[in-house]
Structure 1
Amino acid sequence: MFGRKHNSHDDQDHAALPHQEKVEELRAAIGPLSGRSFMFCTDACLRRYLEAWNWNVDKSKKMLEETLEWRATYKPEEIRWPEVATEGETGKVYRADFHDREGKSVLVLRPGRQNTCSHDSQLRHLVYLLENAIINLPQGQEQMVWLIDFTGWSLRNSVPIKTARETANVLQSHYPERLAAAFLYNPPRIFESFWKIVKYFLDPKTCEKVKFVYPNKEESMEVLRKSFDFQMLPEDFGGESNVHYDHEEFARLMAKDDAKTAAIWGEDHAAGASEVAHLVSMNENSNSKKEQVKTTR
């Protein structure tokens, strides 16, 4: 999602090479792959890692190999909604049901709604939603947008610096070039102190993607208007939509997306796929019964 720190003069002697040649060079450098590693390393994926390092193949290779090792251990594609559902009860992070004007997936973050203290659980919840946003990117889109609402946020309910640092590390190391922009909506003045610390863990390229937006400043609101249809944008972000996060509805959506994830990556254990299928079936039956009740009324 983020890019690693790098020097603009890295590998200038190779800058003239067409990008596709660099992709092929990186593919040759990482050698034969199989299973999910092979599926993960598409040409688009390799381009993201190369872009993160200014097309330096050696540094991109090291970063990609570290990601493959992390994915083999952490198994982000195997995280399922029931495992992280508790983290999502307050709607502190969720995939929006709308896109930006270019069709990018949107993650809504509300740090003021923090409801747990588990560092590991919080990170798995975020990783799960990143993976979910990625499988729902429209054809031809590689990046997503973050909308961050600071209503209710304070230093008392902010995540610990350790969590912020670990989160930044995972995002920068394993999701390079996945972030198109992050809009920080109406952050309190005290957030500036927290931001100065967080910025230390982010590379300059990522920091440039962060936009501070204040509802009482027309100039900053114009930044949002250029990126979003205000009829679709929630009222909490100055838009016109009054749709709010519904945990049960989102859980039904995630159950279906879990089945989609299992189909894309394949399940190592049949129990996992069976559980997802059961959840989807159960939710669909529940919806059907509700519709029948409405009809009888």
Structure 2
Amino acid sequence: MMSSLEIEYTEDEKKTRLGSLKKVAISASFKFKSSFTKKGRRHNRVMCIAFEDDLDAEELQAVDAFRQRLIFEELLSSEHDDHHMMLRFLRARKFDIEKSKQMWADMLRWRREFGADTIMEVLIWIKEKILMIYVTWVTENSVCFVKDFEFEEIDEVLKYYPQGNHGVDKDGRPIYIEKLGQVDPNKLLQVTTMDRYLKYHVREFEKTFTVKLPACSIAAKKHIDQSTTILDVQGVGLKSMNKAARDLLQRIQRIDGDNYPESLNRMFIINAGSGFRLLWNTIKSFLDPKTMAKIHVLGNKYESKLLEIIDAPVNFQNSWEVLAPVQIKVVVCILTRDRGMIQIS
């Protein structure tokens, strides 16, 4: 006996339904391809900026096939209809469409269960009314935010888990810094909870993809969808990885790897002493070779390597303390259809 959700189709009805779905996929595919060539043909009240795109023909073909598969299986909503996002999932699964589709479906399920779809709801609602965009980098204290999730304990959290963005590298990618040697997971979990910290982490990831990376793309005049990470591990050793630290890092790694794949361009681990290197020998056995290729482990003489990809800060004087992580945000001022100006981040 069929449940109330099961519908039995005749052969003719199946053919008709299949044909309709294919037409939808083909139509969407045409619009998808046209978006690359008709960059200037948009609503005349909206300011558009064309970016350089480094997708080759083979990648574009793979993304197009993946997109049609997602449409066919009703797994593609308008907010995720982004060819660069699809490409990241394809790369994460070595362009295996079936495995990429499963990863995509799992991501959608996680977003619903975790609440990632609504964590930036106010910002997304405002974005739909955008006419003009102005972007600048400013510090946390200069910005008034409209937030769906308030993380009031952020100042206390940063005392025990120093982290933040600091400008961009020479390719225009945002630089993210963590000072892992100063992390105190026990005290961290006294000022917040594991669940609240993970929600904060996800909100920052969503803000990166919704606001920061688009801002970097505008500034660089090319598509930017990855970041450069610097981990300062001075003082980190085997004793640093207690149960609280392991649980936190494992949950963060799982969220990032499963739902925001291929968002890291390169990582520099600096001030790696003998204690960290012993720990690293264990950690790296769990990492994918492709991920390992992006990671550079450096000792205390790391300046020349970083200067290859990052411009020296003002008043550099051989000291990277000026690159201490700060909570740098992007301010987006938008002109709405009623000509009112709104400032968000």
Same fold (TM over 0.5): yes
Alpha-carbon distance in structure 2 between the residues aligned to 1:183 and 1:191? 14
The farther-off stretch of 18-27 and 110-119 is 110-119
1:116 and 2:188 equivalent? yes
Q: Is the 8 A contact 1:107 1:133 kept in 2?
A: no
Q: Is the 8 A contact 1:109 1:147 kept in 2?
A: yes
| 1:73 alignment partner in structure 2 | 113
1:99 to 164, 168, 185: 168
| 1:130 alignment partner in structure 2 | 205
Query: Where do residues 1-297 of structure 1 align in structure 2 (5 Å cutoff)?
Result: 18-31=58-71, 37-76=77-116, 78=119, 80-82=149-151, 85=154, 86-90=156-160, 92-96=162-166, 98-114=167-183, 115-117=187-189, 118-134=193-209, 135-137=211-213, 138-139=216-217, 140-158=223-241, 160-216=245-301, 220-231=302-313, 239=319, 242=322, 244-245=324-325, 250=327
Alpha-carbon distance in structure 2 between the residues aligned to 1:232 and 1:55? 43
Alpha-carbon distance in structure 2 between the residues aligned to 1:121 and 1:93? 16
Structure 1 residues 227 and 212 mapped into 2: Cα distance closer, same or farther (>3 Å)?
same
Q: Is the 8 A contact 2:88 2:261 kept in 1?
A: yes
Alpha-carbon distance in structure 2 between the residues aligned to 1:233 and 1:225? 14
Greater helix share, structure number: 1
Alpha-carbon distance in structure 1 between the residues aligned to 2:71 and 2:289? 31
Give secondary structure in 2 for the equivalent of 1:183: strand
Q: How far is the alpha carbon of 1:25 from its aligned partner?
A: 1.4
Deviations 1:166-185 (A, max 9, x none): 22222211111110011101
Structure 1 residues 196 and 132 mapped into 2: Cα distance closer, same or farther (>3 Å)?
farther
Q: How far is the alpha carbon of 1:100 from its aligned partner?
A: 0.6
Q: Displaced runs of 4+ in structure 1, greater than 6 A?
A: 32-36
Alpha-carbon distance in structure 2 between the residues aligned to 1:25 and 1:166? 32
Q: Is the 8 A contact 1:111 1:153 kept in 2?
A: yes
**What letter is aligned with 2:158?**
G
Q: How far is the alpha carbon of 1:193 from its aligned partner?
A: 2.9
Give secondary structure in 2 for the equivalent of 1:24: helix
Q: Is the 8 A contact 1:145 1:181 kept in 2?
A: yes
Q: Is the 8 A contact 2:165 2:325 kept in 1?
A: no
Alpha-carbon distance in structure 2 between the residues aligned to 1:64 and 1:233? 45
Structure 1 residues 33 and 94 mapped into 2: Cα distance closer, same or farther (>3 Å)?
farther
> How does the TM-score come out when normalised to structure 2?
0.58
Q: Is the 8 A contact 1:182 1:211 kept in 2?
A: yes
Greater strand share, structure number: 2
**What letter is aligned with 1:149?**
D
Give secondary structure in 2 for the equivalent of 1:197: helix
Give secondary structure in 2 for the equivalent of 1:227: coil
Structure 1 residues 204 and 234 mapped into 2: Cα distance closer, same or farther (>3 Å)?
farther
**What letter is aligned with 2:179?**
R
Q: How far is the alpha carbon of 1:38 from its aligned partner?
A: 2.5
Q: CA RMSD in A?
A: 3.5
Structure 2: gaps of 5 or more residues: 1-55, 120-147, 218-222, 337-341
Q: Is the 8 A contact 1:52 1:177 kept in 2?
A: yes
Give secondary structure in 1 for the equivalent of 2:274: coil
Structure 1 residues 171 and 200 mapped into 2: Cα distance closer, same or farther (>3 Å)?
farther
Q: How far is the alpha carbon of 1:70 from its aligned partner?
A: 1.0
Structure 1: gaps of 5 or more residues: 1-15, 264-276, 282-297
Q: Is the 8 A contact 1:50 1:57 kept in 2?
A: yes
Alpha-carbon distance in structure 2 between the residues aligned to 1:234 and 1:177? 31
> How does the TM-score come out when normalised to structure 1?
0.67
